[in-house]
Structure 1
Amino acid sequence: MSIAPALRPHGAEVAEWTPDGAYTLTRSIEILQCGSHDPSFIVQGPDHWLAFRTAHGPVTLLLRQRGSLHDSVVQAAAWGPGAASALEALPRLLGADDDWSDFDDPGFRATLPELARKGRYLNPGLRLPSSGRMLDTVARVVLEQKVTGLEAKRAWRYLLTRYGDTAPGAGTVAPAGLRLPPTAEQWRRIPSWDWHRAGVDAKRSSTILKAALVASGLERLASRQGESVRAGLRSVPGIGVWTVAEVVQRTHGCPDSISVGDYHLAAYVSAALTGRRTDDAGMVELLRPWAGQRQRVVRALYASGFRKQAFGPRLTPEDHRGR
Structure 2
Amino acid sequence: MHQDTERCIRAVQSRDSRFDGWFFTAVLSTGIYCRPSCPVPPPKVVNMRFMPTSAAAQQAGFRACKRCRPDASPGSPEWNQRADLTARAMRLIADGVVDRSGVSGLASRLGYSVRQVERHLREELGTGPLALARAQRAQTARLLLEGTGLPMADVAFAAGFSSVRSFNDTVREVFALAPTELRRRGAGSELAAPGVLTVRLPFREPLCPDNLFGHLVETAVPGVEEWRDGAFRCSLRLGTGHAIASLRPMPQHVVCELVLSDLRHLSTAIARCRRLLDLDADPVAVDDALRADPVLQPLVDAAPGRRVPRTTDPEGFAVRAVLGQQVSTAAARTHAARLVVAHGTPIDDPHGGLTHLFPEPSSLASLDPARLAFPTSRRHAVLRLVEALADGSVDLGAGGDWQEARARLAALPGIGPWTVEMIAMRALGDPDAFVPSDLGVRAAAQRLGLPSTPGALTRRGAPWRPWRAYAVQYLWAVGDHPVNQMPS
TM-score normalised by the shorter chain: which range applies?
Answer: 0.7 to 0.9
Matched, 1:255 2:431: yes
More moved, 6-15 vs 147-156: 6-15
1:277-298 per-residue CA deviation (whole Å, 9 max, x = no partner) reads 6321122122223232222222
Name the counterpart of 1:99. 282
Which of 450, 456, 461 is the aligned partner of 1:282? 456
More moved, 243-252 vs 290-299: 290-299
Name the counterpart of 1:212. 386
Gaps of 5+ in 1: 308-323
More moved, 216-225 vs 138-147: 216-225
Q: 1:260 to 1:297 in 2, by over 3 A?
A: closer
CA RMSD for the aligned pairs?
A: 3.0
Q: How does 1:1-323 map to 2 (within 5 A)?
A: 1=143, 2=147, 8-25=192-209, 27-33=211-217, 35=219, 38-66=222-250, 68=251, 71-81=252-262, 83-84=265-266, 85-105=268-288, 109-113=291-295, 116-131=296-311, 133-167=313-347, 169-170=348-349, 172-175=350-353, 177-195=354-372, 199-216=373-390, 217=392, 218-219=394-395, 221-262=397-438, 264-265=439-440, 267-274=442-449, 278-305=452-479
1:73-117 per-residue CA deviation (whole Å, 9 max, x = no partner) reads 432313224842212433222212322333322x7514231xx33
1:42-75 per-residue CA deviation (whole Å, 9 max, x = no partner) reads 0013121101323343322122233x2xx23432
Q: 1:174 to 1:6 in 2, by over 3 A?
A: farther
Q: 1:151 to 1:158 in 2, by over 3 A?
A: same
Identity within the alignment, %: 21
Amino acid in structure 1 at the alignment position of 2:286: F
CA distance in 2, matches of 1:45, 1:20: 25
Q: 1:265 to 1:225 in 2, by over 3 A?
A: farther
Q: 1:156 to 1:89 in 2, by over 3 A?
A: closer
SS in 2 for 1:21: coil
CA offset at residue 37 of structure 1?
5.8
**More helix, by proportion:** 2
Q: Which has the larger radius of gyration?
A: 2
CA distance in 1, matches of 2:416, 2:444: 21
CA distance in 2, matches of 1:183, 1:272: 40
Q: 1:173 to 1:83 in 2, by over 3 A?
A: farther
CA distance in 2, matches of 1:235, 1:80: 38
Gaps of 5+ in 2: 1-142, 149-186, 482-488
Checking the alignment, whether the CA contact within 8 Å between 1:42 and 1:50 is kept in structure 2 is yes
CA offset at residue 139 of structure 1?
0.6
SS in 1 for 2:244: strand
CA offset at residue 236 of structure 1?
3.4
Q: 1:229 to 1:41 in 2, by over 3 A?
A: same
CA distance in 2, matches of 1:56, 1:25: 32
SS in 2 for 1:223: coil
CA distance in 1, matches of 2:462, 2:408: 25
More moved, 224-233 vs 237-246: 224-233
SS in 1 for 2:258: strand
Q: How many residues are paired up?
A: 293
CA distance in 1, matches of 2:191, 2:294: 41
Q: 1:249 to 1:108 in 2, by over 3 A?
A: closer
CA offset at residue 130 of structure 1?
4.1
SS in 1 for 2:457: helix
Q: 1:215 to 1:29 in 2, by over 3 A?
A: farther
Q: 1:189 to 1:33 in 2, by over 3 A?
A: farther
CA offset at residue 225 of structure 1?
4.4
